[in-house]
Amino acid sequence: MGRRRTRVNKIRDVIRYRLTTELSERQIAQALGISRTVVARILAAYRASGLTWAEVPQMADSALEEQLTRACARAHTA
């Protein structure tokens, strides 16, 4: 069974919670109804992407998803 894709609005929520609250990855996962592993992967891709929070809300869904996917791929090949 393959991994299910996380909706872009949940990705934005994960990033927003992490940057604007003191919640842990586990607490963010619980609040959004996703696994802690998914939260960790999203945040790792976000850090690797070099994006700032100011850029994230303004980006098109497809552009955000592409940036994070590329950053994640770079991190795995480095």
Q: What pLDDT does 21 receive?
A: 96
Tens of pLDDT, residues 16-75 = 999 999 999 999 999 999 999 999 999 999 999 999 999 999 999 999 999 999 988 776
| pLDDT for the residue numbered 76 | 63
DSSP state of 7: P
Question: Mind giving me the DSSP string for 16-54?
Answer: HHHHHS---HHHHHHHHTS-HHHHHHHHHHHHHHT--TT
Q: What is d(CA 63, CA 1) in angstroms, rounded to the nearest whole number?
A: 27
Residue 72: its pLDDT value, please? 81
| Structure tokens given for 72 | 């994640």
pTM for this structure?
0.86
CA dist., res. 6 & res. 9, Å (int): 8
Residues 14 and 71: beta-carbon distance below 8 Å: no
